[in-house]
Amino acid sequence: AQRVTQPEKLLSVFKGAPVELKCNYSYSGSPELFWYVQYSRQRLQLLLRHISRESIKGFTADLNKGETSFHLKKPFAQEEDSAMYYCALGGMRFGAGTRLTVKP
Amino acid sequence: DSGVTQTPKHLITATGQRVTLRCSPRSGDLSVYWYQQSLDQGLQFLIQYYNGEERAKGNILERFSAQQFPDLHSELNLSSLELGDSALYFCASSRTGESGNTIYFGEGSWLTVV
């Protein structure tokens, strides 16, 4: 079965600290994984997709097929990173989301 | 601006009523998705259309239905509304609907059932 798990509903860090939002997936084929960000119940915006291997707003994510993970990382969190983050498998399987709060 | 347009932005209606939410995809996108985001359920995929045909179905209730028209815009119909249907409904679109496509979301339609 296809499934996306984001184990942390809430994550709080201080400004300047590293942050890692966890995402694990269950999929038998080659996964197409994405991270979306949602600010204050606005529209979801694409943050990263695994095939592009780029860094957006300082965030990176590496697909680890052995651990079936696609964790989102940023070395130095900023207050403006406070938002809801969703990991997605294709267009139909979204994790429950992690609300990141970056404290000053 | 993602290019995906949803109307109305806000809607308040009574239990038992029926509403229609509308979505215009990005220019050139053939696939449309509908999602429901409620406070306690997170983001739930409802249904996907590709070029007028239903492609995938998620957790969509029987009271809900959708369609995609020849001009590619889509409508989500919600009937016999219940208090629990109050949520933010997102429409999204992608180029071909394949799992590797980036999905672009609209601003959402806030539905409040009273």
Res A97 pLDDT > 80: yes
Polymer length in residues for chain B:
114
Q: Percent of chain A scored above 90 by pLDDT? A: 67
Q: Which one is predicted more confidently, B41 or A38?
A: A38
3-state DSSP helix/strand/coil percent for chain B, to nearest 5?
5, 55, 45
* Amino acid at the residue A100: L
Residues A63-79, mean pLDDT to the nearest whole number: 94
Kindly tell me the burial class for residue A33, based on how many C-beta atoms sit within 10 Å of its own C-beta (0-12, 13-18, 19 or more). Answer: buried
Confidence of residue A76 (pLDDT cuts 50, 70, 90): very high
Contact B64, B79 (CB under 8 A): yes
- Buried/exposed code over A65-82 (b: 16+ C-beta within 10 A; e: otherwise): eeeebbbbebeebeeebb
* Amino acid at the residue A50: H
Highest mean pLDDT out of A50-59, B9-18, B36-45: B9-18
pLDDT at position A92 is 83
CB contact under 8 A, A51 and B100: yes
Res A18 pLDDT > 90: yes
User: What does DSSP say about strands B10-13 and B109-113: parallel, antiparallel, or unpaired?
Assistant: parallel
The whole-angstrom distance between B23's CA and the closest CA on chain A is 14
Torsion-angle region of residue B47: left (phi > 0), alpha (psi -120 to 50) or beta?
Answer: beta
Provide the 3-class DSSP secondary structure of residue A44: coil
Which chain B residues have a beta carbon less than 8 Å from that of A93?
A: 45
Res B76 pLDDT > 90: yes
Question: If you average pLDDT over every residue of chain B, what do you get?
Answer: 94
Residues B81-95, mean pLDDT to the nearest whole number: 95
Res B40 pLDDT > 90: no
Residues 6+ apart with CB under 8 A from A80: A102
The whole-angstrom distance between B62's CA and the closest CA on chain A is 19
The whole-angstrom distance between A42's CA and the closest CA on chain B is 6
Residues of A with CB under 8 A from a CB of B: 32, 34, 36, 41-46, 49, 51, 86, 88-97
Contact A63, A54 (CB under 8 A): no
Greatest Cα-to-Cα distance within chain A, rounded to the nearest angstrom: 42
Question: Residue A49: closest CA among chain B residues belongs to which residue?
Answer: B102
CB contact under 8 A, A44 and B43: yes
Contact B46, B76 (CB under 8 A): yes
pLDDT at position B29 is 95
Question: Residue A29: closest CA among chain B residues belongs to which residue?
Answer: B99
The whole-angstrom distance between A78's CA and the closest CA on chain B is 23
Q: Percent of chain B scored above 90 by pLDDT? A: 85
